[in-house]
Structure 1
Amino acid sequence: MLVAGSASPAEAGTGQLLVHLRSLLPGLAGALRQVANVILEDPAWASRATIVELAERSGTSPATVTRFCRTLGVAGYTELRVGIATEIGRADQAGWEVGIGADVLPTDPIDRVLRTLLAVDVQAMHETAAALDLSAVDAVADAVVAARRVDFYAAGGSAAVLEDQQLRMYRIGIATWTWADVHNGLTSAALLGPGDVAIALSHSGRTTETVEMLAEARRHGATTVAITNFSTSPIADVADHLLGTSVRETAFRAGAMSARHSQFLVLDLLYLAVAQRTHERSTEAFARTADAVAAHRTPYEPRARGGSARSADPQRGA
């Protein structure tokens, strides 16, 4: 069930077991998915339950739970329980005010909405950082630096996230384009070749247009990269490198909306890794572009003591 570029709990540390399980969930079916759902619904209970109790609550059998452990990449049920307990303990130690599965309720006052939002986003970024395959980030950064051109593919709201990344890369001298229209994206992908890089963003990993564009780029020999929350999603099948986020949905924010901060964390890391590798060129390009737009910034007028900046200007009316 594991894909290239993803780490098993044994490789990433048992403290990322629930993160890994959520990323695998769309690829699980039948009895295995039943076991996964029971664990994710109440991780604290699962960390204390016997194998028989977990099997009974999930409507399966101890043999199915054992098979589930192998699918998840852990040695056995004891390691599964330890991994769940470790992740819960890590969340408690981090001081998150709301636990796993926290959500915003319709009757919550605005101060609790703020605390919940902060806790959920911070937790997602911590989990994303802990589970991120840094060797894959290094490999992608090397490929981007050496590339003739870099294409970014996404649809809907994900395209806005990638457009920000594309503009930042372009500003430090990387030839980049963002494609949100599938026809234009497929046309561009067909013109890529070995040495070029194609990076696609899809929270679900199941957006047909995004998968098609990345697959077309791969068919022509480009190095392909997928940023997604689910390591067993279709987009992972057409990616040479997988950069994962770890985000859970809330009632008023679908997964793609909840994923923004974690996606920017991954993209920021990639941007800085590229900038490090091209430090002199990036520094010069950044300075030149900043100078080019400097004349379009309104001059700062310090506020006069006892009055506004406007009233301090004798050439302006009261």
Structure 2
Amino acid sequence: MSCILKLNQVYKNLTEVDKKIADYVLDNKEEVCKMTVSGLANNCGGSTASIVRFCRKLGYDGFSDFKIELAKEKDNNESKSEYAYIDEKSSLDSIIESISNKNANTIYKSVSLNNNKDIKDAVDYIQKAKKVYIYGIGGSSLVSQDLQMKLVRINKNTITFTDSHMQLMSSNNVTEGDVAIGISYSGESKEVVESMKKSKCNKATCIGITKFGESSLSSLCDINLYVSNVENSLREGAISSRIAMLTLVDIIYIALIQNDIKENEAKLMATRELVKVLK
């Protein structure tokens, strides 16, 4: 995973001490790779303990682990293809270019924020689960429904509800051996968080799909899959984050199919034949 991308994702939520460390790292990437932890502390006005905490907030075991990843970085500038401000004077051409470029950029960043082991672990737990419970509201509910449809097609016992009360009530039925998947861009959707709390209490394996960084949802989960922190405007809504979440869902789905491709292809063909009668 790109440590510079991770750093940019969480920057605005860092403490003032952490921002000083982050600023120094961003301005002196090559030099930091050669420093000791005490050397970095002296240069950015922090302490060795604050440096270690800073590294752990980004998901690294310590400063040495952080330096290894930093040394792998190429210059990771933010893409210029961000949303332009869209108003009543915006042309259709500018809207098309802005939205398509932003979505592509968000998918790239989101994939960069995840490591293959976490994705593989999530797939393995879903594969072995007795039941899969999926929680999401609003735009995330659309992602929940998409994941449920895909899992049902390969005969996974999957439960999700659009009604938040039903979601919460269903979490009471979760048992050990089940998987609970919480989908929330902010990681703070109360209905999702409470459903995941109950699922965790009932000893389910908990998987989160949320934006990168610390949140109530991520703190509950055994595995977190991340999307890029992209929603900066009310006008943009959940456009790019939803696309990134759907991309993660597609990755999980195809990986599950590949685990037993012959059997799953037969199931997919059977469901395709069934829905043909409706056309």
Given the two structures, how large is their TM-score scaled by the length of structure 1?
Answer: 0.70
Aligned to 2:122: 140
Match of 1:104 in 2: 85
1:192 aligns with 2:178: no
CA distance in 2, matches of 1:235, 1:189: 15
Contact conserved, 1:17 with 1:83, CA < 8 A, in 2? no
Aligned counterparts of 1:80 and 1:276: Cα–Cα separation in 2: 30
Letter in 1 for 2:152: Y
Conserved 8 A contact 2:113-2:212:
no
CA contact (8 A) 2:10 2:213 kept: yes
Q: Which one-letter code corresponds to 1:196 in the other structure?
A: D
Q: 2:14 — aligned with what?
A: 28
In the alignment, residue 228 of structure 1 is paired with which amino acid?
Answer: T
Q: Percent identity?
A: 21
Matches within 5 A, 1:78-227: 86-88=75-77, 98-99=80-81, 102-106=83-87, 107-227=89-209
**1:187 Cα deviation (Å)?**
2.2
1:12-54 CA-to-partner distances (Å, cap 9, x unmatched) read 3xxx234212443475234435776x79xxx7xx579x99xxx
Instruction: Report the secondary structure of 1:225's partner residue.
Output: strand
Q: CA deviation at 1:179?
A: 2.9
Q: Which runs of 5+ in 2 are unaligned?
A: 33-42
Q: Which moved more, 1:200-209 or 1:127-136?
A: 127-136
Q: Kindly state the Cα deviation for residue 175 of structure 1 after the two structures are TM-superposed.
A: 0.7
Query: Given residue 177 of structure 1, which amino acid in structure 2 is its aligned partner?
Result: I
Match of 2:236 in 1: 253
CA distance in 2, matches of 1:70, 1:205: 22
Q: How many pairs are equivalent?
A: 258
| 2:224 aligned partner | 242
Q: Quick one: distance in 2 between partners of 1:29 and 1:185?
A: 35
| Distance across 2 between alignment mates of 1:260 and 1:198 | 19
Deviations 1:103-127 (A, max 9, x none): 3342432212222222211111111
> 1:219-249: per-residue Cα shift (whole Å, max 9, x none)?
1011100001133111111100010111412
CA distance in 2, matches of 1:289, 1:76: 47
Q: Give me the TM-score of the superposition, normalised by structure 2.
A: 0.79
Deviation at 1:211, TM superposition (A): 0.8
Distance 2:113 2:208 in 1: 15
Distance 1:218 1:69, change over 3 A: closer
Q: Deviations over 1:165-185 (max 9, x none)?
A: 101110111110113433322
Q: 1:189·1:214 contact (CA, 8 Å) conserved in 2?
A: yes
Question: Cα gap change, 1:272/1:76 in structure 2, threshold over 3 Å: closer, same or farther?
Answer: closer
Query: Could you tell me how far 1:80 is from its partner in structure 2?
Result: 10
Asked whether the equivalents of residues 201 and 210 of structure 1 are also in contact (C-alpha less than 8 Å), the reply is yes
1:286 aligned partner: 268
What RMSD in Å do the two structures reach over aligned CA positions? 3.2
Q: Which amino acid aligns with 1:206?
A: E
Deviation track 1:57-111 (CA, whole Å, cap 9, x = no partner) reads xxxx9314984686145669999998887112xx6xxxx6x25x55334243221
Matched, 1:273 2:255: yes
8 Å CA contact 1:197–1:224 kept in 2: the answer is yes
Which runs of 5 or more residues in structure 1 are unaligned? 1-11, 52-60, 298-318
